[in-house]
Amino acid sequence: MNPMLNIAIRAARKAGNVVAKGYERRDEIQTLSKGTNDFVTNIDKAAESAIIEVIKKSYPDHTIIAEESGALEGKESDIQWIIDPLDGTTNFVKGLPHFSISIAIRVKGRTEVGVVYDPIRNELFTAIRGEGAKLNEMRLRIENKRELQGCVLATGFPFKKTALMPLQFAMMNSLTSDVADFRRTGSAALDLCYTAAGRVDGYFEMGVKAWDIAAGDLIAREAGCLVSDFNGGHSYLTAGHLVAAAPRLVKEILNKIQPCLNGEFKG
């Protein structure tokens, strides 16, 4: 096994234990607001500390970019661990059992390893660049769908940027003539993994951060998905908007949503 993947899995499982125990002891969850509809709990912070501890023990010089701690610069700035200790905090706070730990490793600007762990279902999604994606020990490969008719698409609402809500509904309205249904489950990392696993046929969202999607992006691509920003480019980790699906479906989705953008996200 790739040694960095091994450490990422160990870190994700350790954080998963923290999250699962916190989920069972709901009266001990402490929630703070970071901004509009944006929350952090003591469990997010404890899970992040657990991940950082595991990484630092094996790779003390690597750089870590974490949702709650920010950038922890190491001597080796070319290797970055991008972590979200609890993707789906709102679900966690509400007692809805759908959230994950996301860890990506980028080397010289390219994602090499991705791990997304759902501690409630004990589902571990992993990928190494060029070596495919797995759910636990099962290899993932998407169905190469070509038409939107009958497809189920995952999405997320830009609840931290409420001014974008009309655009969200315009895009969904444009897609409704073709797609069968939408899923909005509250974890971008799992939406990408579920696309990779064929549980949904595609995924699109705006207003996401790199730590939400970096690991899931690699898992989806290694399962055969095309991932692009709303302009059909590759800047989604910085731009914060993306589409993931079989290549022909991405083209179909973009054809539906791009006329809605009205100058948003151009460039």
According to the annotation, is 84 in a ligand binding site? yes
Asked if residue 212 belongs to a known ligand binding site, the reply is: yes
**C-alpha distance across the termini of the chain, in Å:** 40
Name, in order, each residue with C-beta under 8 angstroms of 166's C-beta and a sequence gap of 6 or more: none
Query: Cβ-count burial of 25 within 10 angstroms (0-12 exposed, 13-18 middle, 19+ buried)?
Result: exposed
Two structure tokens written together for 34 = 């970071």
Assess contact for 234 and 228: CB atoms under 8 A: yes
| C-alpha to C-alpha distance for 57 and 250, rounded to whole angstroms | 40
Please tell me the distance from the alpha carbon of residue 224 to that of residue 245, in angstroms, as a whole number.
Answer: 8
Q: What is the four-CA torsion angle of 179, 183, 189, 194, rounded to 10 degrees?
A: -70
Beta bridge partners of 39: 33
Query: For the chain, how big is the Rg over CA atoms in Å?
Result: 18
| CA–CA separation, 69 and 41 (whole Å) | 13
Question: Does 153 count as an annotated binding residue?
Answer: no
Closest CA to 167 of 263, 267, 35: 263
Tell whether 67 is in a known binding site. yes
Residue numbers in the known binding site for Mg(2+) are: 67, 84, 86-87, 212
Residues in the annotated binding site = 67, 84, 86-87, 212
